[in-house]
Structure 1
Amino acid sequence: MTVSRLRNIPGIGVDRMGDAADASKNPNILRLENLDTDLRPPPEAIRRTHEAVDDDTANSYLPFTGQAALRRAVVARMKQSAGTEYDPESECIVSAGGLAGILNVLLSILEPGDEVVLTDPTYAGLINRVRLAGGVPVFARLIPGADGWRLDLESLARAIGPRTRALLVMSPSMPSGFVATEAEWAAIAAHYVRPDAWLVYDAAMERILFDGRRVIHPASLAGMRERTITVGSVSKEFRMIGWRVGWIVGPAPIMADVRLTSLSNVVCQVGIGMPGATAALTCADDGVAAAVGQWQARRDFLLRALDDLPAIRPDGGWSMLIDTEQLGIPAPEASRMLLAKGEVAATPMTGWGPDAARYLRFVFANEPVSRLADIRARVRTAWHL
């Protein structure tokens, strides 16, 4: 019998698509189903990780909240992005990846039945973690249009009620590439400057912004420093997926509870991963600007190649969505046909929000333009367009 907390968790779909692509052993398949990237981490991060393998102090549970050098580097980065000071001792905890940090935060702030507002669409793993923590996901719509995705502010207002405990939001958001504007952040802040609610900000892709957009960190807004919990990681911006190093930053009172949850859950982080993460955060050139340039070029190529299809422009992040329902093809069937006939692996957004099931996601972080060159012909073949 499935326990109740798992009954409404369908999975994320990416694992099934990845397994299907792997099973084919076909090197011609375009791998657009998973958030991997072919761009290398900062060289200094790789060098320090190699050194850490031989460093006995890295082969340790201690300190449980993460190595001090990394916590100092994280709060220094927070000062850059939010303009806000944090204490590395009482207001920063290192987690075993960003999503472990998200779950620990939710476990620390939710009572069973509390509601968490998320955008629709959003990453299924965030929705699932709300449910694992005993929360109830409620959705504010993202509206696709000629200028990309916009937050439906009326939908946001309707989503907030007496049981609302948190808003969990990414910017850039995954899978849509939605990037909140100043006006949208201000509307969010207007709802969450209150003593009984938190803004949980997933900053995993914060600097992966296209077309000259700048970082707007919600903790920088008036009254939001004490209501915002930021969760970040080295996985996306720094291209360090396998290191499994993330962090949680927030006001000291709630961080005391997050520390207790962290000690009771994963206990500690990847010891040999933290020196490399510290190097990534502190090196002279972390490669983020160059990587963003390449990811934007791939986005731009896909938008041109698929300009006759209902693809919605992402303003940041690693992926874009195509509304296959507009083509008369349910997203799971579009995914199946694309793999079988077009040699393209792409994940349908089933379980990624109430309205998300109509979309198919193309991840552009892992395939260079040279490999994407015939994407339109592959799609035409698969979908008979």
Structure 2
Amino acid sequence: MTVSRLTEIPGIGVDKMGDAADAKHNRNILRLENLDTDLKPPAEALAATHAAIDDDDANSYLPFTGQVALREAVVARIERSARVRYDPHAECIVSAGGLAGILNVLLSILEAGDEVVLTDPTYAGLINRVRLAGGVPKFARLIPSADGWRLDLDSLAAAVGPRTRALLVMSPSMPSGFVANAGEWEAIAAHCRRADAWLVYDAAMERIVFDGLPVIHPASLPEMRERTITVGSVSKEFRMIGWRVGWIVGPASIMNDVRLTSLSNVVCQVGIGMPGATAALTSSDDGVAHAVNVWQARRDFLLSALGDLPVMRPDGGWSLLIDTERLGLAPEEASRLLLTKADVAATPMKGWGPQAGRYLRFVFANESVERLADIRARVRTAWSM
């Protein structure tokens, strides 16, 4: 019998698509279903990780809140982005990946029945973690337009109510590639202040923005340092998915609770992963700018190649959405046809928000333009269009 906390958690779909693609043992399959990348981590991060394997200090539970050098590097990174300072000892905790950090934060701030506002679409794993922590997801719609995805401010206002405890916002967002602009961040911040709510900022892809868009950290906005909890990781920007190193940074008023939750949950981080993460954060050339250029080129190619289809332009991140329902295809059927007829693995967005179920996601972080060259022909073969 399924326990009640899992009854409204359908999964994320990516795992099933990944398993289906793996089972074919076919290297011709375009792996557009999962957030992996073929771009290498910073060289300094690789060297530091190799060295850590032989370092007894890295083979330890201590310190439980994360190695001091890494916490110092994290707060220095956020100071550059947000122009606000944090104490690495009292206001930063290293987590076992960014999503473990998200769950620990939600467990630290939510009572059962508290509401959390998310964008729609958004990553199913964020929605699921709200439910695991006893929260109730509420949604503010993202609207696709010629200007990319935009936050529906009326929908945002309607989602915030007397039980709102937090707004959980990712920018750039998965799966849409939505990047909040200055006006949207101001509106989000205003609702946080008015509702006396936390802003949980998922910064996993903060610098993966295209076309020269500015990076805006919400803790830099008026009165938001004391309301913002930033959760980041080395997985996306630094291409270090397997390290499972993330961080939580927020005001001291909440971080003691987050520390207690962290100690009670995953306990500590990946010891041999932290020196590499520190090296990435302190590298003279972390490779992020180059990687963003590569990912933008892949995005641009897909937008051009699939330009006659209802493809929604992402302004950042690793993926884009196709509205297959406008083509008369349910996303699940569109996904099945792509895999069986055209060797393309792509994940339907069921469970990624109330309006997300009409979309199919293409991840462009792990396939080169050369490998993507025949994507339109493959889609034509699969969907007969």
1:270 aligns with: 270
8 Å Cα contact 2:34-2:363 kept in structure 1:
yes
Count of residues in correspondence between the two structures? 385
State the 1:258 CA deviation.
0.1
2:64 aligns with: 64
1:117 aligns with: 117
String of CA shifts for 1:194-221, please: whole Å, max 9, x gaps.
4731000000000000000111000000
Distance (whole Å) between structure 2 residues aligned to residue 258 and residue 194 of structure 1: 24
Distance (whole Å) between structure 2 residues aligned to residue 137 and residue 338 of structure 1: 32
1:96 aligns with: 96
Distance (whole Å) between structure 1 residues aligned to residue 374 and residue 40 of structure 2: 25
1:330 aligns with 2:340: no
Please identify runs of 4+ aligned residues in structure 1 that moved more than 6 A.
none
| Counterpart AA for 1:235 | S
1:216 aligns with: 216
1:294 aligns with 2:280: no
1:179 aligns with: 179
1:139 aligns with: 139
1:155 aligns with 2:155: yes
Q: Name structure 1 gaps, 5 residues minimum.
A: none
1:236 aligns with 2:236: yes
Distance (whole Å) between structure 2 residues aligned to residue 195 and residue 295 of structure 1: 37
String of CA shifts for 1:147-173, please: whole Å, max 9, x gaps.
110000000000001110000010000
String of CA shifts for 1:53-87, please: whole Å, max 9, x gaps.
00000000000000000000000001000000000
Specify the SS of the correspondent of 1:361: strand
| Counterpart AA for 1:254 | I
1:347 aligns with 2:347: yes
State the 1:182 CA deviation.
0.3
Specify the SS of the correspondent of 2:267: coil
1:314 aligns with 2:314: yes
TM-score (norm 1): 1.00
8 Å Cα contact 2:162-2:195 kept in structure 1:
no
| Counterpart AA for 2:294 | Q
String of CA shifts for 1:290-324, please: whole Å, max 9, x gaps.
00000000000000000000000000000000000
Q: Name structure 2 gaps, 5 residues minimum.
A: none
2:49 aligns with: 49
1:18 aligns with 2:18: yes
8 Å Cα contact 2:121-2:355 kept in structure 1:
yes
2:246 aligns with: 246
Identity over aligned residues, as a percent?
A: 82
State the 1:193 CA deviation.
1.4
Distance (whole Å) between structure 1 residues aligned to residue 196 and residue 152 of structure 2: 23
Specify the SS of the correspondent of 1:154: helix
Distance (whole Å) between structure 1 residues aligned to residue 383 and residue 176 of structure 2: 22
Specify the SS of the correspondent of 1:337: helix
